[in-house]
Amino acid sequence: MPVEVIMPKLGMAMKEGTVSQWNKTEGEAVKKGDPIASISSEKIEMEIESPADGNVLKINVPEGKGVPPGTVICYIGNPDEEVAATAAQVQEEKGEEEIKAAHPAPLPKKPGKARVKISPVARKMAEAAGIKPEDIKGTGPGGRITKEDVEQAIASKKESRKQDSLIQAPAGKEPKHTPVSGMRKVIAERMHASLQSAAQLTITMKADVTELLALKTQVKETIAKRYDSKLTITDFIARAAILALENHPEMNSAFMDNTIVTYPEIHLGIATAVEKGLIVPVIRNAESKSLIDLAKEIKEKTAAARSGKLPADEMQGSTFTISSLGASGVEFFTPILNPPEAGILGVGVVSDEAVFIGDKIEKRSRLPLSLTFDHRVLDGAPAAAFLQTVKQYLEEPVTMLL
């Protein structure tokens, strides 16, 4: 009996999964444990392995199509086994027949008096090329469209398509066209929807983290011996953002259904780059965690995210997000809100700068901060006050330990 391969449920909130890519084709032999397809949900992508030895008898879900969890996406079995139609397929076919019966195809319209003069051979060529005779200029007697006219129209159409595809390609080479699917498609849709649905504004500021880096070095050995861990600048930034959110709860909000929803707990999202895109592990109830506990959880969840082992429900429900491009050498940038959150903090690269301290010039380490916020939830002044508080904690790092 054929074995069903179903779309798994990647987290409690998952409503639909998409087959990003099939690694096997119908009829191809597989062994138990072989990766047969890649699937993706809103925030995660993973491989589906064959549950048994055999052949791929039938693929039910094509690449790029989303289906609910529990849907049979293919069958594995012996080559001589037959696959019965699933109840969903039967219902779908029945539904299509009912639609056709209820809406019969309209009768063809009678041709009007005005007719295009075209030879039968030319008409057949135009139809095969998908060109309307009305769009072709005839050069024959009385404006009649000839075979040569159609050939010229086809050549013009091909040249037009070629020119459209050549976007300043070097040395006459055509650009590569990659269909957007899986996680990349989800990210594209979410980022576009974010910009379309929120009044986003970005403000910037620099924090002097000279003392912070000194403190980090000072406690390095103690943290390693006592907690078998280490603190990164990201850990301190996360702690500073959490404390600032407690002081400015309006930033820990969302705009939904013409209502500003302010959350009592802080669920901090840490944007993490993975091989095929970007995902956001969530540190729940971050306000209740010490700096050490926060650092450990950030490391564990980002590592699990990069290895593809983080459960989908641990990438949902954040109330504020931090995104860093410091490792890429970026200073200021414009982070895009993670809907429906009201704020996201962008972190750049630390650089040494000459700064006036009183009348003297000193070398100081400065950290660029970019805050994007939803102007529907709060205005520039309270957003600036929040960013100023983050800056203050980073410049007085001992206060984060008290």
CATH number (domain holding residue 374): 3.30.559.10
Residue 379 structure tokens: 């205005």
Question: ∠ CA 27-28-34 to the nearest 5 degrees?
Answer: 135
At residue 104, does pLDDT exceed 80? no
Q: Residue 38's closest CA among 17, 69, 52?
A: 17
pLDDT at 113: 47
At residue 1, does pLDDT exceed 90? no
Quick check: is 280 in a domain? yes
Q: What is the CATH number of the domain that holds 137?
A: 4.10.320.10
Q: Are residues 128 and 46 in the same domain?
A: no
Q: Are residues 71 and 129 in the same domain?
A: no
To the nearest whole percent, how much of the chain has pLDDT over 70?
Answer: 87
CA distance 264 to 246: 9
Q: Are residues 27 and 134 in the same domain?
A: no
Q: What is the pLDDT of residues 323-375, one digit of tens each?
A: 999 999 999 999 999 999 999 999 999 999 999 999 999 999 999 999 999 99
Q: In the listed set 40, 67, 102, which residue is the last one of a domain according to the structure?
A: 102
Q: Are residues 89 and 119 in the same domain?
A: no
- Higher-confidence position of 125 and 253: 253
Average pLDDT over residues 52-80: 91
Q: Give 3-state DSSP helix, strand, coil % of the chain, rounded to 5.
A: 40, 25, 40
Q: Are residues 26 and 146 in the same domain?
A: no
Average pLDDT over residues 300-328: 93
Q: Which of 34, 208, 293, 375 is catalytic?
A: 375
Active site residue 379: yes
Which range, 2-6, 42-46, 178-182, 363-367, has the best average confidence (pLDDT)?
363-367
Q: What is the pLDDT of residues 374-394, one digit of tens each?
A: 999 999 999 999 999 999 999
Q: Are residues 199 and 275 in the same domain?
A: yes
At residue 107, does pLDDT exceed 90? no
Residue 374 structure tokens: 């939803």
**Count of structural domains within the chain:** 3
Peptide bond into 249 cis (omega under 30): no
Helix (H/G/I), strand (E/B), else coil: 76: strand
Confidence of residue 16 (pLDDT cuts 50, 70, 90): confident
Mean pLDDT of the chain: 87
Quick check: is 351 in a domain? yes
Identify the H or E element spanning 244: helix 233-247
pLDDT at 363: 96
- Own/partner pairs, 151-159, CB within 8 angstroms, 24+ separation: 151/125, 153/126, 153/129, 154/125, 154/129, 157/129, 157/131
Q: Are residues 73 and 125 in the same domain?
A: no
Q: Are residues 257 and 386 in the same domain?
A: yes
Q: Are residues 235 and 97 in the same domain?
A: no
What's the maximum distance between 2 C-alpha atoms anywhere in the chain? 96
pLDDT at 42: 64
Q: What is the pLDDT of residues 178-219, one digit of tens each?
A: 877 777 777 788 888 889 889 999 999 999 999 999 999 999
Average pLDDT over residues 208-235: 95
Q: Are residues 214 and 250 in the same domain?
A: yes
pLDDT at 64: 81
pTM given for the model: 0.65
Residues paired with residue 369 on neighbouring β-strands, in sequence order? 205, 347
Which range, 73-82, 153-162, 234-243, has the best average confidence (pLDDT)?
234-243
Residue 361 structure tokens: 């010039």
Active site residue 103: no
CA distance 278 to 272: 6
pLDDT at 163: 64
Q: Are residues 220 and 129 in the same domain?
A: no
- Own/partner pairs, 172-179, CB within 8 angstroms, 24+ separation: 179/64
Residues paired with residue 279 on neighbouring β-strands, in sequence order? 272
Q: Which range marks the domain in which residue 89 is found?
A: 3-102
